[in-house]
Amino acid sequence: MKGTVGELGEFGLIRELTSRLTTTPAVRLGPGDDAAVISAPDRRVVASTDVLLEGRHFRRDWSTAYDVGRKSAAQNLADIAAMGAVPTALLLGLIVPAELPATWATEMMDGLRDECQVAGAAVVGGDVVRGETITIAITALGDLQGAEPVTRAGARPGDQVAVTGWLGWSAAGHAVLARGFRSPRAFVEAHRRPEPPYQAGPAAAALGATAMTDVSDGLLADLGHVAAASKVRIDLRAAAFDIPTQMADIGRAVGVEPLQWVLTGGEDHAIVATFPPQRQLPARWRVIGEVQAPSASPQVTVDGNLWAASGGWDHFGAED
């Protein structure tokens, strides 16, 4: 396909975009009508919306259109999984400049579609509008399959804190890209295309998780939301985090303590949950800390100390 979005026109673009989509048995009615119809066997539907802007959430010189699609979908589908639900559908609100190559839009859509397939979902509808800044507004839907939603509010003192998925890889990849490099490839890839552990969300619900969230803003920040919603304190153990050798190498090269990436890097969309104290967890879950009784702030600590947002230990917190 040649030409720009403007040359293709609104209806031409919509035709190109929808022609690339795949479906699932949950899709009762796909794109093309006033609305889509999706199965909700649980009689409840889980729904989440995120907006991504070029320049703020992605850069065309760092990521291909396909990767932007994968990442945009992943971010939303991870929110569904983090409630303990199985993603079913995704709706897209897309703003594109007239001068954008039409292939950028179609490749982005390929990425959305493929990430949906990984999660078992499908793109079921959307809207395309012309505007100045590429903007991707996504709503993801999911089904709880009879489980109760696992919110951020259920963590109890004594609960284990456990995580599954990648931590700090996207942030390390970002550090590499920001310095003009394109390798180590594994980290750059992790930044461009996160791999949320979708299945872990419903699995955690089945394991009796008391609270859960996905790590989108950074482990400490997202556990801060859990601590606030659950009215508890959370303490992590620094020794529980294995720093991969290559991540340590990047840290040395760019002068960053790699634990900083692990604790504060977002966008890998790992899933972190709290579980009752005695609960045996499968090997994919790494126990990283403990829920404690509420006290004065700080709410989330590492080995009892505050970790500074700027990296390293906070000068105003207790020192080791």
Binding interface with a second copy (CB under 8 A) = 28-29, 32-53, 56-57, 79-80, 82-83, 85, 89, 91-95, 124-127, 129-133, 135, 137, 139-142, 144, 149, 151-153, 212-214, 229
Q: How far are the Cα atoms of 119, 154, 167, 304 from residue 263, in angstroms, in the given order? A: 26, 22, 8, 14
Residue 240: name the closest of 255, 221, 219 by CA: 219
CB of residue 26 vs a second copy: minimum separation in angstroms?
Answer: 9
CB of residue 148 vs a second copy: minimum separation in angstroms?
Answer: 9
Decide whether 8 or 150 has the Cβ nearer to a second copy. Answer: 150
Decide whether 28 or 179 has the Cβ nearer to a second copy. Answer: 28
* Binding site per annotation, positions: 34, 48-50, 57, 79, 126-127, 152, 214, 216-217, 267, 313
DSSP labels for 132-192? SS-EEEEEEEEE-TTPPP--SS---TT-EEEEES--SHHHHHHHHHHTT---SHHHHHHHH
Query: How far, in whole angstroms, is CA 47 from its chain's centroid?
Result: 15
Decide whether 47 or 238 has the Cβ nearer to a second copy. Answer: 47
Tokens 């985090």 correspond to 241
CB of residue 232 vs a second copy: minimum separation in angstroms?
Answer: 16
Sequence-distant (6+) residues with CB within 8 A of 260 are: 168, 171, 311, 312
Token pair in block for residue 27: 């899709």
* Binding site per annotation, positions for Mg(2+): 34, 48-50, 79, 127, 214, 217
Strand partners for 274: 161, 211
Decide whether 17 or 46 has the Cβ nearer to a second copy. Answer: 46
CB of residue 29 vs a second copy: minimum separation in angstroms?
Answer: 6
Give the span between the Cα atoms of 290 and 288, in whole angstroms: 7
Decide whether 91 or 288 has the Cβ nearer to a second copy. Answer: 91
Give the span between the Cα atoms of 60 and 76, in whole angstroms: 20
CB of residue 231 vs a second copy: minimum separation in angstroms?
Answer: 14
